[in-house]
Amino acid sequence: MFALAVLPCILLAQETPRAAEAAPPEPVTSLFQLPGIIITFVLVTTPLILMLLLALSRINNRFLKTRLAALPGEDADDSAVNDGLGNRPKQTSARATAVEFAIANVRHTHTVRFVAVKKRAIKRPNIAPELARLIVFYLVSATVWLLWGTTVGEYVGIKFVLPDIDHVSWLSFGRLRPVHTNAVFWGWASLAMLGLGYYVVPTVSNAPIANLRRGWQSLWLINASVLAGTICLMAGVNNSGGEYREYIWPVMLLFGVGLLLTLVNFIQTIARRTTQEIYISNWYIVSAIIFTIIITIAAYVPFWQNGLGETIIQGYYMHQGVGMWFMLFNLGVLYYFLPQQLNKPIYSYGLGVVAFWVQILFYTLIGTHHFVLSSIPWWLQTVAIVGSAGMFIPVFAGTANFLMTFRGSWNAVGSSYTLPFYLVGVVFYFTGSLQGTAEAFRTTNLMWHFTDFTIAHSHITMYGIITFLLWASIYAVLPRLTEHEPKQALVGGHFWLAFVGLAFYTIPLMIGGTLKGLMWMDGKPFMDSVVMMADYWLWRAIGGSLMWFSHCVFAFNVFTMLRGTSIKEIPSSINIDKVSEPTNLSISQESQENATEVVA
Amino acid sequence: MNLMKFLSNHRLLFGAATVLFLGLSIVVAILPALDNQANNAPLPDAVPLTGSAEAGKQVYIANGCVGCHTQQVRAADMDKMWGKRPSVPADYAMNVPMDVWRNTATLMGTERTGPDLTNIGVRQPSRDWHLLHLFNPRTVVAKSIMPAYPWMFEEKPRAYAGDVVVNVPAEWKRDSNNVVVATQEALHLVDYLLSLQQTPLPDGTPEPKFLFKPAPKPIAAGEAVSAFDGAALYAANCQSCHQANGEGLKGAFPPLKGSKVVLDDDNVELMVNIIMNGYNAREEYGAMPSIGTANNLSAGEVTAIINHEKTSWGNAAKKVSETDIKVLMERVKQPQ
């Protein structure tokens, strides 16, 4: 419904620029008359309201559990029960499960609880230990780059408030800013994605990975690329200024070769699949790698791009990098993990197929919307704006697909430590992507372009979508590989710190960015807009600190998953007879979940 | 062909996706870029960078200045303050890949944390100001958040022949007896910044229009308010040297508060002359550039600035009228 209401606004907004010449637009008495603003406002408040509902439902849940706990009964033994015979429960029924649920929670009356207990990770069929080791190395490398990249990001954020905090050339703002963006792009997100790809591609192909050695080579090449790039940038060696294109081509070549090795690996694995169909995850993942290699070659071949050619390729490169690499790949990972974590199939396979082709069709067009009203050809700008509006289709198809998969399993979100991350990622996929569409119109672009609003947008997308989805999948996959789980309270801590931090980071920047754009349009002296932003930049630094702190917690969680508490065996049988004898109670947490799953 | 069969063949599936992506990429990126490259000629009056300015461009690139400063005047009315006309493709035509390792540096940028620099050589032509500002921007613009670049300067007990001394106020030096000398890096960078000037279009070429003009502000009947805000114009054109409090900077820029030139009601012509043509009569201060001419200030704007200066910071001189200023501006006009 929302879609139908908004789409006409989007199309109408396209008419405004031309009308502006003939008749001067109404003096903007209220910002809320601008369609771009309305769309953005709705988009921004949506995730906040959803999260509030989630938090309320949890509090409510807790309340219910306390009442259930008032049922008479002994303290249940916490140790796992396993009859070791692998029998499925014989007499499981909804009623039995309910009783069991109540009993299993009895022990909670004795402890003061601050966090809800979540489902434990479930032991799955083993992955070949050699492959598991490779994936763990990818994910750990990614975590290291996340810590480094966001430490740098936090530091440059502080520099907006304290510009004289240091006077070292290697640490100056202009050099560190690309260190931050490139480290989180190519180090954190890319390595985490590839690591997850090495899990998903063989799994859905039902075939072993084609060549393990190439996986390792790819890992080291990309790590080397980010390390060399970081040092180059700090030393003042860069590629002349295009965003996300700051590494010089010899450095990016390492990354490209790494991608190529993984691409060959994945395609060979898919060629040897034992399933007939190619599961849609593999469409997204393999295409993402192919497209990224094409983009990188186009952008980095060092023999062309004179004059404005550079700008046209820059717009193309930077936006395809974001949409065809990070977004496409992550959608592939999501199409595997979301159904798996919800323990049900994806709502509509067909919608995923449609979204795939439409995404390619529209997304490829939109690069130059970063240079609206600049001197690049007008028709190219218009194509980009139309493509941006067209992105509504794949984004809506994708979001609907994921939310419909969630449907009927909302209660699973509260009892899982991975699903909240997926939910945030999906909601931001919708709001963040459409915010990009709203920013591309010429009227809104006029106000928001060049301001801090774009910084907020890039963090909503790269952080709210990509990073949250990656965290979700890492929490889903690492315990399976290492058989160790993170501490649930700390996963929760990570989640809320990151989420609240992101809100503190982005909302002030969006408000400040809007005010800044209005001051510019009003012809106010530039310096006034800098002075005005001071408070908003302070809030950004506070939000950024929360985000950074959450990454420390995440890193600790990763460490715990490497060598923490072991996953307990799932009891493969529940003896219902025992349930009827309260004196002989020893139902474990796991058995409760096992039973719930059977019922579901 | 059977669709399921097609989708289950990895060669066909990934081949089709690649062809679609590649085809669209060629249409919206590769061909337009090649086309621009093929029809790429600088304006007839464009001046290539000097050796020093070229070296300065390298410094600009190495320090990531493009992260905060754009070099593009968009075809939007709000961008008027950054240049006389919107940028055109020919403005970027002289940029080719820097060398075999690095890409073309059009340096258009996507973020304006700091001002646009397309025309900075015209907007702020004072070398002294740029050097001081690079040493630490907060010496001249108190609220600036731009990084300082002290490693491009040398602080030492005395200057030698050939040293370019920067008049850094004492409180910004480690030792107030020291002098601050600009290194080659800083001098190159300033040469580059001063070289950033919009080239006029050849005669007869229609200039691209600034779009999205704001609606004229309604003026209440019978109210004769000047259309120009003197304080804002002062902030945009004068403040970076003479400061918000009108006190200037000791050793660099003279105060306007209590200034004889500003307070003299009988010789407004001198003030107009200084604004329009610059001033270099006082050795203890840096030379003032011809800011009024460079920034194309109208008689109304100059009047608003003069009246602001004559009545602020405790100054209590007589206001001037736009008609008088118009006459004086004609009188001081220098042949170009």
- Give yes or no: residues B56 and B191 share one domain: yes
The answer to whether B81 contacts A375, with C-beta atoms less than 8 Å apart, is no
Select the residue of B8, B20, B30 nearest A360 (Cβ to Cβ). Answer: B20
| Angstrom distances, CA of residue A26 to CA of A23, A29, A34, A71, B210 | 9, 8, 11, 66, 19
* pTM, to two decimals: 0.84
Tell me whether residue B256 is in a domain. Answer: yes
In this structure, which amino acid lies at residue A211? Answer: N
B68 in contact with A, Cβ within 8 Å: yes
Helix (DSSP H) and strand (DSSP E) numbers for chain A: 24, 2
DSSP string for residues in A215-276: HHHHHHHHHHHHHHHHHHHHHT--SSS-TT--S-HHHHHHHHHHHHHHHHHHHHHHHT-SSS
In tens, the pLDDT along A524-551 reads 889 999 999 999 999 999 999 999 999 9
CB-based contact, A325 to chain B, within 8 Å: no
Tokens 């039995």 correspond to what residue? A96
User: CA distances (Å), A279 to each of A167, A220, A440, B298, in order?
Assistant: 53, 28, 34, 68
Question: Residues near A48 by Cβ (< 8 Å), separated by ≥ 6?
Answer: A503
Decide if B38 touches A, using CB distance below 8 A: no
**Nearest to residue A139, comparing CAs of A188, A203, A181?**
A188
Q: What is the mean pLDDT of chain A?
A: 83
Structural domains of chain A sorted by starting position, each given as residue range(s) with its CATH number in brackets: 2-63+121-566 (1.20.210.10), 69-118+570-599 (no CATH)
Interface subset of A 235-264, CB within 8 angstroms of B: 236-243, 245-246, 248-250
Contacts of B241 in chain A (CB under 8 A): none
Dihedral sign, CA of A222, A226, A232, A236?
A: positive
A177: nearest Cα among B255, B24, B242, B67: B67
Q: Note whether A323 and A369 are within 8 A (CB).
A: no
Length of chain B: 336
**Cβ distance of A305 and B21 shorter than 8 Å:** no
Chain A residues whose CB is inside 8 A of the B308 CB are none
Give the closest residue to A91 by CA, choosing from A576, A585, A579. Answer: A576
Q: Are residues B74 and B184 in the same domain?
A: yes
B76 DSSP β-pair partners: B211
B10 and A270 within 8 Å at the Cβ level: the answer is yes
Residue A181 C-alpha from the chain's centroid: 16
**Residue of chain A whose Cα is closest to the Cα of B215:** A24
Clarify whether residues B235 and B118 are in a common domain.
no
Tell me the residue type at A31. Answer: L
Q: How far is A307 from chain B (nearest CA, A)?
A: 4
CB A222 within 8 Å of CB A190: yes
Q: What is the C-alpha separation between A563 and A559, in angstroms, rounded? A: 7
Q: Does B267 touch chain A (CB under 8 A)?
A: no
Which of these three, B195, B214, B239, is where a domain ends? Answer: B195
Rounded-to-integer distance, Cα B65 and Cα B127, Å: 18
Q: Which of B4, B24, B28, B171 to mutate to test the interface with A (most CBs of A within 10 A)?
A: B28
DSSP, collapsed to helix, strand or coil, labels residue B153 as strand
Nearest to B106 among A308, A449, A524 (CB): A308
* Nearest residue in chain A measured CA to CA from B90: A307
ipTM of the complex: 0.87
pLDDT of the residue at B245: 87
In a domain? residue B315: yes
What is residue B239's predicted lDDT score, i.e. its pLDDT? 87
Q: Which of A312, A12, A372 minimizes the C-alpha distance to B211?
A: A372
- Name the residue of chain A whose CA is nearest to B212's CA: A20
The residues of chain A scoring below 70 in pLDDT are 1-31, 35, 62-115, 123-125, 564-600
Which residue's entry shows tokens 């709502």? A347
Distance of CA B313 to the CA centre of its chain: 27
Please give the pLDDT value at position A8.
40
Which domain CATH number covers B186? 1.10.760.10
Structure tokens at B313: 């910071």
Q: Which of B36, B61, B154, B308 to probe the A interface (max A CBs under 10 A)?
A: B36
Query: Nearest by CB to B145, which of A26, A163, A267?
Result: A163
Sign of CA dihedral B109, B113, B119, B124: negative
Say if residue B191 is in the same domain as residue B248. Answer: no
> Chain A residue with minimal CA distance to B13?
A283
Q: Is residue B134 part of a domain?
A: yes
Q: In sequence order, which ranges of A69-167 are alpha helices (DSSP H)?
A: 94-104, 129-161
To which residue do tokens 């002062």 refer? B234
Are B33 and A312 within 8 A, CB to CB?
A: yes
Contact B12, A269 (CB under 8 A): no
Instruction: List helix spans (H) across chain B.
Output: 3-7, 10-25, 31-38, 51-62, 120-123, 127-135, 184-195, 230-237, 239-242, 260-263, 268-277, 291-294, 299-311, 322-332
What parts of chain B have a pLDDT lower than 70?
1, 217-226, 336
d(CA A52, CA A466): 22
Q: Inspect the interface and report whether the beta carbons of A306 and B40 lie closer than 8 Å.
A: yes
Cα–Cα distance for residue pair A292/B25, rounded to 1 Å? 12
Residues B190 and B101 in one domain: yes
Query: Does residue B43 sit at the A interface (CB-CB below 8 Å)?
Result: no
Claim to verify: residue B248 and residue B291 sit in the same structural domain: yes
Cα end-to-end span (Å), chain A? 30
Q: Which of A516, A513, A509 is nearest to A544 (CA)?
A: A509
Is-contact A285 A329, C-beta < 8 A? yes
| Cβ distance of B235 and A525 shorter than 8 Å | yes
Kindly give the interhelix angle for A212-235 and A190-205, rounded to the nearest 10 degrees: 170
Q: Which of B152, B169, B195 is the last residue of a domain?
A: B195
Could you say which of B8, B93, B149 has the minimum Cβ distance to residue A277? B8
CB contact under 8 A, B87 and A236: no
| pLDDT of amino acid A563 | 82
Q: Which residues contact A231 (CB under 8 A, 6 or more apart)?
A: none
Query: What was the pLDDT predicted at A589?
Result: 43
d(CA A537, CA A158): 8
3-state secondary structure of B154: strand
B184 within some domain: yes
The H-assigned helical ranges of A391-525 are: 392-406, 410-414, 419-440, 442-448, 453-459, 468-482, 488-521
For chain B, say whether A373 makes contact (Cβ under 8 Å).
yes
B chain contacts of residue A355, beta-carbon cutoff 8 Å: none
CB pairs under 8 A between A and B: 281
Give the up-direction half-sphere exposure of residue A302: CA atoms within 13 A in the CB hemisphere: 16
A205 Cβ under 8 Å from any chain B Cβ: no
Pairing state between β B165-166 and B179-182: antiparallel
Q: Are B216 and A506 in contact (CB under 8 A)?
A: no
Shared domain for B174 and B240, answered yes or no, is no
Residue B90 located in a structural domain: yes
User: Which among A237, A313, A373 has the least Cβ separation from residue B29?
Assistant: A313
Residues B102 and B187 in one domain: yes
Please indicate, yes or no, if residue B16 is contained in any of the structural domains: no
Judge if B251 and B117 occupy the same domain: no
What is d(CA A299, CA A129) in angstroms, rounded to the nearest whole number?
38
Q: 3-state class of A459 per DSSP?
A: helix
User: Is the four-CA dihedral A139, A145, A148, A149 of positive or negative sign?
Assistant: negative
Please answer yes or no on whether A306 and B93 come within 8 Å at the CB atom: yes
Q: Do B28 and A383 touch (CB under 8 A)?
A: yes
Tell which of B195, B221, B250 closes a domain: B195
C-alpha to C-alpha distance for A208 and A191, rounded to whole angstroms: 20
User: In this complex, do A174 and B98 lie within 8 Å of one another by their Cβ atoms?
Assistant: no
Q: Which of B96, B136, B215 sits opposite A24 (nearest CB)?
A: B215
**Could you give the 3-state DSSP secondary structure of residue B180?**
strand
Total domains, chain B: 2
Residue in the structure block whose two tokens are 């050793």: B251
- What are A146's two structure tokens? 């996340």
Provide the β-strand partners of residue A450.
Answer: B111
The CA distance from A448 to B79, in Å, is 13
How near does any CA of chain A get to the CA of B129, in Å?
16
**What type of residue sits at position A376?**
I
Minimal Cα–Cα distance from B335 to chain A, Å? 31
- Residue-level pLDDT at B279: 87
**Selected residue of A240, A445, A530 to mutate for chain B interface (largest B Cβ count, 10 A):** A240
If you ran DSSP here, which 8-state letter would residue A392 be given?
A: H
B19 and chain A: CB distance < 8 Å anywhere? no
B291 occurs within a structural domain: yes
Q: Contacts of residue A172 in chain B, CB cutoff 8 Å? A: 63-64, 147, 149
Identify all chain A residues contacting B106, using CB atoms and an 8 Å cutoff.
Answer: 241, 307-308, 310-311
Residue A316 contacts B, CB cutoff 8 Å: yes
Calculate the dihedral angle through the C-alpha atoms of A330, A333, A337, A339, rounding to the nearest 10 degrees. 90
pLDDT confidence of residue A6: 42
Q: Is residue B176 part of a domain?
A: yes
Those of residues 207-246 in B touching chain A at CB distance below 8 A are 211-216, 232, 235-236, 239
Is residue B142 domain-shared with residue B274, that is, in the same domain? no
What's the token pair of residue B235? 């902030």
Residues of A in contact with B211 (CB under 8 A): 17, 20-21, 373
Enter the tokens of residue A492: 């929760």
Give yes or no: residues B161 and B242 share one domain. Answer: no
Same domain, B56 and B185: yes
A18 touches chain B (CB under 8 A): no
Specify the pLDDT at position A82: 39
Range of the domain at B286: 230-332
Contact A159 B70 (CB under 8 A): no
Q: Which residues of B fall within a CB distance of 8 Å from A522?
A: 214
Asked if B81 lies within 8 A of A526 by C-beta distance, the reply is yes
- Predicted local distance difference test score (pLDDT) of residue A302: 86
Note whether B94 contacts A: Cβ–Cβ < 8 A.
Answer: yes
